[in-house]
Amino acid sequence: MNRSAEAAPGREHRVSQPTIDAFAEVSGGIAPIHTDPEYARSTPFGGTLVHGMYLVGLIERELCARAPGWDASGTVDVTFRRPVRAGEPFTIHLAGDPARDEEFGVTVRTENGTAVTGVVRGRPGRDDER
């Protein structure tokens, strides 16, 4: 497995408060740390946070963009290391090629450090392990 190899990051992302609010509405994740900027400013985080599952969705989008069909047999296991605040820039780094490698690392990085680490497994067209 390729967990340590360094790959070029994907494009820079920023998640706006309106996007967080829309995700909260459809997902049911309406906790004030995500949806109430005034409340969130009073917490140690200093602002609203992007939902972790939204970040996982962006990882999946990146995988599918690099390897169409990856989602038919792939999995992503992640650990959330630190939050990503609304509007904070971040990039998704893949330490492998989803079209070729069966297992490799993924990280989400902000200016303040690593927010998410994980392992990607599977390849397009490989549904024999389900």
CATH number at residue 62: 3.10.129.10
Query: Closest by alpha carbon to 49, among 13, 87, 90, 85?
Result: 85
CA atoms within 13 A on the CB side of 5: 12
Cβ neighbours of residue 121 under 8 Å, at least 6 residues apart?
A: 74, 75, 76, 77, 102, 103
pLDDT of residue 7: 56
Place of tokens 């820079």: 12
Tell me which of 4 and 111 has the higher pLDDT.
111
pLDDT of residue 124: 53
pLDDT in tens, 21-53: 999 999 999 999 999 999 999 999 999 999 999
pLDDT band, very low/low/confident/very high, at 76 (cuts 50, 70, 90):
very high
Per-residue pLDDT averaged across 1-17, rounded? 71
Answer whether residue 7 is part of any domain: no
Answer whether residue 15 is part of any domain: no
Answer whether residue 57 is part of any domain: yes
Inter-residue contact 106 to 92 (CB < 8 Å): yes
Does residue 5 carry a pLDDT above 70? Answer: no
pTM as predicted: 0.86
Answer whether residue 1 is part of any domain: no
User: Please, what is the average pLDDT of the chain?
Assistant: 88
pLDDT of residue 73: 82
Q: Which of 6-20, 40-54, 63-77 has the highest mean pLDDT?
A: 40-54
Q: Which domain holds residue 67?
A: 50-121
Task: Return the percentage of the chain with pLDDT > 90, whole number.
Answer: 70
Q: How many domains does the chain have?
A: 1
Per-residue pLDDT averaged across 112-122, rounded? 94
